[in-house]
Structure 1
Amino acid sequence: MINVLHLTNSLNYGGLERVVIDICRHLDKSQFRPMVACIRWKGPQAELLADQGIPVVVLKNRSSFMPKHSTFLELKKVIKENHIDIIHSHNTGPLLDAIAARFVSISFPKIVHTDHNRVKWPDKSKYMFFERIASRVVSSFVAVSEDAKNNLVFFEKIPADVIKVVDNGISVEAFQQFIGTADVTKRELDLQRFKYVIGGCAVLRKQKGITYLLQAMPEIIKEVPSVCCVIGGHGTEREALEALVSELGIEEHVRFIGPRDDVEKILPIYDVFVLPSESEGLPLSLLEAMAAKRCIVATSVGAVPKALEDGRCGILVPPKDSEAISAAVVHLLKSPEDRNRFSFKAFRCVNENYSASAMAMAYAEIYKRSLGANLYGGFPCGRGKVER
């Protein structure tokens, strides 16, 4: 049995956190025993793992002589008590703790690191420098898309042959049971008077480009008056977005429904799912919309064109272009045949290429190879040749 500890800041709402949860859920339990350690707090999605008996712990710094946010000594205890073989860190902060804990652990657990997409590139210099050095220490360094890998190579100067790519995946089957429930959910959200619903669910921060969707709404409303834009999620930009709605005078056509832990239930209400991001890796919200058989308009950033097969599974528009968004949405709202065609192709694509089971299997192979480096002549802490 291989004991795998996922190290993340929290299990709050977000794509990174969902990836952690789905890896844990779909690993072969006859070979792996997963658990999660959260650096800051558990977060609301921790219950999804607790329901399946997967342990989630919160690391706390109890040392008076260490910096306030240093948690690696507590992590060392978790490693020892649970006989951890693999630490799987997610993004830069957790990677720092993982490396520090490994240096002070007798067992020298292997580190597998996943770099999820950044809000923007280049990142802070100290983070990029640290990851460049860390790429020589970890057993496997993973990017969530080819675009994310290219950014790591270009900005952090990490050799391309060091970085593996594992596409994000989702539990496609989880979205099937709600596909026919849109009318019920619309009544719950008091949306019955609208013929069409557009929008999406996202962390409300600038990178997600919700501003451009809202700026597109006056033209969309002009062409299709019976439309409502429903935005799920929370974040630092919410007040600014609500102010923009007021400024544009579109309050009657926009709803903010806050963070949702039932996205499977919410997605079927969308006649057109809009992803207006300024930058992305491979966003789970896109894959979830595809699994829910939604028609999609998305910006051509990151791995989005790959997932949508260069526009064959949805309409791609340039980032930061509200006019392009409005034109694409209006076209689809007036073309039910195109909506059906795109939604069918999107579902087929996600089902074949982006399942959580396939993602977990890919990581399972990485875990085994990382341990194989130790078993067949690899060196701890990156000294010598490490299996990648």
Structure 2
Amino acid sequence: MRILQIIDSLETGGAERVAVNYANALAKKAAFSGLAATRKEGSLKNQIAADVAYLFLDRKGKFDLGAIFRLKSFCKTHQVDFVQAHGTSFFTAVLLKFIHPKISIIWHDHYGMSEFLDARKATALKIASFFFSGIVAVNTILQQWALKELHCKKVVYLPNFTNYGKEIAETVLNGSNGKRILCLANLRAQKDHFLLIEVAKQLKESHPDWTFHLVGKDFEDGYSKQVRNAILTENLQEHVFLYGSKNDTENIIKQSEIAILTSGSEGLPVALLEYGLFKKPVVLTNVGEIPLIVKDGKNGFTVPAGNAPLFYDALTRLIENPDLRADFGNELYSVIQANNSEEAVVNQFLSWIKKMN
């Protein structure tokens, strides 16, 4: 089996990480594994394994036929059977199929606003789905939506997984050792950093030595400006630190004591898997697939989205109980290893794909 991942960019993000993870994992199991970035490279390029064939298309506009023909040439050279198109890169995959009909398209749906699917703009996607051979959904809500709304009915739910390759430890977090709270999330509205800021205001009064560390892409837009202004307005500059996108995630997680997500909407966040892989105790909002992994009070705490008082209470319980932190971290690690390991998910993916032949 010969499979090519297609992703629009290699900047740090959930879909982008999953594309790289699949490419790296399939290099160990498939006859060929490749990855093509269509529009933009980024820091995740350094995470691509040496045995993964890589192509940067540098696509200029939606209908850059030169880029599509370069992609066709790459696929023919490497005798690619399947392209696994992540997120919005389905458009590139469909254009490829027009000039290279032998290709089978697997679309990987990472839509993060799965609680608000009624507002999803999907006209182009519905048309494109006529050309899909299969669909991978990262949560059961998206799986049911695809079965109902799209024209391809070979839909499978596969949880995200994470793996780690080479990285250079370069980020040094502010704050005191053993008193850092990490949030791995791009600065997007769905991640609800304002909930984090509300909790930080309370924690500044009750546990002033503990600090928050926000790692994720800053899009330098209106939302980002609002987050930065809120930090200044609440005088939290020494309690909430922004780092932007970073490439040494493992190093950053290891410097943290507790890990959180304050999202208003999620699928299955890769950040949660990364937290669990390094046995970090977590406090998360109970959105998307999170409650399937984190059982409140057993291997972490989950609270309703937007509820700052409950989030603060859960966080302080972890801060004040080191033994509970250790127990939660070990329990979460066991769950991730059992259900979201690279081996288990990739084997299921390959078994599913073989049935299409």
Length-normalised TM-score, structure 2: 0.89
CA deviations 1:101-139 (Å, max 9, x no partner) are 11221x5111111111234633766x4233334334311
| SS class of match (1:343) | helix
Kindly provide the amino acid, as one letter, of the partner of residue 132 in structure 2.
Answer: V
Kindly provide the amino acid, as one letter, of the partner of residue 55 in structure 2.
Answer: V
Question: What's the counterpart of residue 340 of structure 1?
Answer: 326
| SS class of match (1:117) | coil
Question: What's the counterpart of residue 202 of structure 2?
Answer: 219
| SS class of match (1:273) | strand
Question: What's the counterpart of residue 138 of structure 1?
Answer: 132
d(CA) in 1 for partners of 2:318, 2:273: 19
d(CA) in 2 for partners of 1:271, 1:262: 17
Question: What's the counterpart of residue 157 of structure 1?
Answer: 149
Question: What's the counterpart of residue 246 of structure 2?
Answer: 260
Question: CA 1:161/1:277 → structure 2, altered by over 3 Å: closer, same or farther?
Answer: same
d(CA) in 2 for partners of 1:202, 1:60: 26
d(CA) in 2 for partners of 1:333, 1:294: 12
Q: How does 1:1-388 map to 2 (within 5 A)?
A: 2-27=1-26, 29=28, 31-49=30-48, 51-60=49-58, 67=63, 71-91=67-87, 93-105=88-100, 108-119=102-113, 121-122=116-117, 127-153=121-147, 157-158=149-150, 162-171=154-163, 188-192=172-176, 196-236=179-219, 237-309=223-295, 311-370=297-356, 372=357
Question: CA 1:283/1:73 → structure 2, altered by over 3 Å: closer, same or farther?
Answer: same
| SS class of match (2:132) | coil
Q: Which moved more, 1:24-33 or 1:156-165?
A: 156-165
Kindly provide the amino acid, as one letter, of the partner of residue 164 in structure 1.
Answer: V
Kindly provide the amino acid, as one letter, of the partner of residue 21 in structure 1.
Answer: V
Shift in Å, 1:62: 8.1
Q: Which moved more, 1:95-104 or 1:274-283?
A: 95-104
Question: What's the counterpart of residue 376 of structure 1?
Answer: none
| SS class of match (1:293) | coil
Shift in Å, 1:270: 2.4
Question: CA 1:251/1:280 → structure 2, altered by over 3 Å: closer, same or farther?
Answer: same
Kindly provide the amino acid, as one letter, of the partner of residue 288 in structure 1.
Answer: E
d(CA) in 2 for partners of 1:258, 1:104: 39
8 Å contact kept, 2:199–2:309: yes
d(CA) in 2 for partners of 1:69, 1:124: 31
Question: CA 1:248/1:159 → structure 2, altered by over 3 Å: closer, same or farther?
Answer: same
Question: CA 1:37/1:345 → structure 2, altered by over 3 Å: closer, same or farther?
Answer: same
Question: CA 1:89/1:333 → structure 2, altered by over 3 Å: closer, same or farther?
Answer: same
The list of structure 1 runs, each at least 4 consecutive aligned residues, that deviate by more than 6 angstroms after superposition, is: none
d(CA) in 1 for partners of 2:227, 2:60: 40
d(CA) in 2 for partners of 1:30, 1:8: 21
| SS class of match (1:118) | coil
| SS class of match (1:100) | helix
8 Å contact kept, 1:229–1:253: yes
CA deviations 1:280-332 (Å, max 9, x no partner) are 11000011001111110000000000011355211001111222211111121
| SS class of match (1:320) | coil
8 Å contact kept, 1:5–1:37: yes
Shift in Å, 1:264: 0.7
8 Å contact kept, 2:199–2:308: yes
Sequence identity of aligned pairs in percent?
A: 23
Question: CA 1:352/1:160 → structure 2, altered by over 3 Å: closer, same or farther?
Answer: farther
CA deviations 1:50-88 (Å, max 9, x no partner) are x5131221224589xx84588433332322232221111
Question: What's the counterpart of residue 380 of structure 1?
Answer: none
| SS class of match (1:8) | strand
Kindly provide the amino acid, as one letter, of the partner of residue 136 in structure 2.
Answer: V
Shift in Å, 1:358: 2.0
d(CA) in 2 for partners of 1:220, 1:339: 17
8 Å contact kept, 1:22–1:360: no
8 Å contact kept, 1:27–1:361: no
8 Å contact kept, 1:211–1:241: yes
CA deviations 1:139-192 (Å, max 9, x no partner) are 111101113223445xx6248963211110112x779x99xxxxx999x43423
CA deviations 1:332-385 (Å, max 9, x no partner) are 111222212211110111111111222222222233223x1xxxxxxxxxxxxx
CA deviations 1:262-286 (Å, max 9, x no partner) are 1111112322211101111100001
8 Å contact kept, 2:126–2:151: no
Question: CA 1:149/1:129 → structure 2, altered by over 3 Å: closer, same or farther?
Answer: same
